[in-house]
Structure 1
C-alpha cells in the first residue's frame, strides 16, 4: 500500500532516487556530518527526523565510531524506516544503539516519544510540512538544553544538463526548475492548515529558541562525464521534474523531455557523456537555549 506524506509524495516509491542522491552526495556531505559532530558528548544521542533512506545516519555512524552512541531514526514512512535501520546498523556495528520511531514531525507530541538529543538532524523535511515554524519549534524541543539542531534547507538548485541539448529549445533545465517551483508553490498552498513563513530559515530557528544560529554550504559537484550512477540519477531527476512540472511546460518542452527519456531515441540522456551535477546544500544550525 502506498503511504503518502503531507505533500502527497509516495516517498517509499522514490527510494531508488533517494539512494542514488545519497551516494552522489556522500563525500561532501560527510564533511558536514563531521562538522556537526564536533563538540558533542563522547557518546551522544542523535535524532534523525525524516531520516529517509538513512544516508546521513550512515555518515554520522561512520564518523562517530564510538561505543555507547545512540541513533534514533524517525520517519512517517515505515518502509523507509526499515531501509534506514538496515544501513545505519551496518555502519554502526555493535558500537551504537539504533532505534526507529514511526512518527511525523508535524506531531507536536513528538518530543514525548523521543529521548532528549545532543544533535537533532532534519534534511529537507520542514519545507514539506504545513506549518514550517511549528515544525522548527518541535525540532528544538527534541534537543536537550545546549543541544544542537541542524536542518538542511534551501541552497542553490542542482543543475545537470547542458544549456543546448541539440534537441528542442535551449535552456530546458531552467524551465523545468521554474515549473517545479510553480508546482511546489501550488502544493504548499493546498496543504491543509498551511501557514506561510515569510522569513529565512535562520530567523525561523531563532524564533524556535535557538542561539548561535549559523549556516554553511556544502558543494556537490560531479563534473562530466561522471559515473554511470550520475546518468541514472539525471534520468530519474528529469523524469521526476517532468511529472511534477508538466502542467507548466509548453508542449514542445514536453515532447523534448519525452525524447530525452526514451532509450530508443538518439537524444536519450543515458547515452550522453556531458551530464554533470552541480549545486549547493545549505545547512542551518543552532543550539537550544540552556
Structure 2
C-alpha cells in the first residue's frame, strides 16, 4: 500500500511498503502513484518499493528494537500490507524465534517477498497470504502476537472498522503497531539555486490534496479525525506508546539514496504535472535531467530526511 501524507507524503512518494491491490508500503513506502488509486500497478512499482524499504532499513530496525521491548518474543508476526517483503524479512531477522506472515493484495509483490526470504535463508519462517485487508488476515490461520500495519490502513475506506478487524486478529496480550503519519520527506535545500524557493513544500501541498481525494474515493470511505491512539482505543485496545523514527542521510548521499531521490521525484513529476505551475515543472525537469549540473543526479547537496510515526496498542483480553 502506501506507506505516507502531509505526513502521509501523499501519492507520489509514500514511504510505504504496501497492500491494497497492493496498498507505502512505502511501507512511502510508497514511492509514488498516479491520480487514480485503482490504477496503481504495484508490480511496476516493485523496484522502487524495494529500494525505498532497503534504504529505510535502519529506521525500521530501530522501530523493531522498540517493538521488541513492548512485545518481547512474539511467536507470530503479521505484516499487514507487506508489499515486496523487505520489512517482513527484517522482522524475521529481528525476531529469530518468530514466524512471519506477509499479507498483501498483490501476488507479484508477494512473489518477490518469497524470493527475498529464500535468498536470506528465511523461507522456513516466512509465509505469504494474497488478499485484501482486513479479510485476508483470516487466511493467516492464527492470531498475531504482533501485527504491523505500515501505511496500509489509510487505503481502507472505513479505518475505524478496519482497526477493529485488526484487533480481532490479535492474540490476548498481542500488540498492534500502526505506522501512520510522520513528516514528509526532504531531499533538497529550501532554495536550490533556480526556480522559486520552497519547491518541495509546494509538492507537499499538491500531494496532501491528492491524499484527501484518494481517501474520499475509496469504497465505503469514512472521514475520521486522525487521532490514532483514540482510534486504537475505540477498537478495544489499550494504547501503549507513540514514537517517531528518523531516517537522516545527510549530503553527500550514497548512490542508492541518490537513485531513490531521482526515482521519487520522477514519480512526483508524473503525478503532479496538471497541478503544478509551469515554473515548478521546469524546475523539476532540471532536477531530473542527468545532463544538467544542477540535477539530483549530480548536485552535492542532496540528502534524505524522513520521519515515520508508529502507534502501538495491546489487546488486554
- Larger Cα-atom Rg: 1
User: Does the aligned pair in 1 maintain the 2:84–2:109 contact within 8 Å?
Assistant: yes
Aligned residues: 284
Q: Which runs of 5+ in 2 are unaligned?
A: 1-19, 24-36
Is 1:200 the counterpart of 2:231 in the alignment? no
Q: How is 1:81-96 mapped onto 2 (pairs within 5 angstroms)?
A: 81-91=110-120, 93=122, 96=124
Say whether residues 1:278 and 2:309 are aligned partners: no
Corresponding residue of 1:103 = 131
Write out per-residue CA displacement over residues 105-159 of structure 1, whole angstroms, 9 at most, x where no aligned residue: 143x743653111111111111122111122112111111111111111011111
Residues 41 and 219 (structure 1), Cα distance of their counterparts in 2 relative to 1, 3 Å cut: closer
Gap runs ≥5 in structure 1: none
Corresponding residue of 2:78: 47
Bigger shift: 187-196 or 37-46? 37-46
Question: Which residue is equivalent to 1:151?
Answer: 178
Q: Aligned to 2:109, which of 65, 73, 80?
A: 80
Matched residue SS, 1:166: coil
Map Cα deviations across residues 189-243 of structure 1 (whole Å, 9 max, x no partner).
2223211112411111111111133211111100000101111111111112222
Alignment of 1:31-180 (within 5 A): 31-38=62-69, 40=71, 42=73, 44-66=75-97, 69-91=98-120, 93=122, 96-107=124-135, 110-111=137-138, 113-180=140-207
> In the TM superposition, what is the alpha-carbon distance from 1:92 to its structure 2 partner?
5.0
Residue 271 of structure 2 corresponds to 244
Post-superposition shift, 1:167? 2.1
Partners of 1:199 and 1:124 lie apart in 2 by: 13
What CA distance in whole angstroms lies between the structure 1 residues aligned with 2:284 and 2:73?
51
Equivalent positions of 1:175-254 (< 5 A) are 175-254=202-281
What SS does the aligned partner of 1:169 have? Answer: coil
Q: TM-score, normalised by structure 2?
A: 0.83
- C-alpha separation in 1, matches of 2:21 and 2:295: 31
CA drift at 1:245: 2.5
Counterpart among 250, 258, 262 of residue 285 in structure 2: 258
**What SS does the aligned partner of 2:171 have?**
strand
TM-score by length of 1: 0.91
Sort the Cα spacing of 1:167 and 1:110 in 2 relative to 1 into closer, same or farther, 3 A.
same
Q: How far 1:41 moved relative to its partner?
A: 6.3
Instruction: Give the aligned CA root-mean-square deviation in angstroms.
Output: 2.0
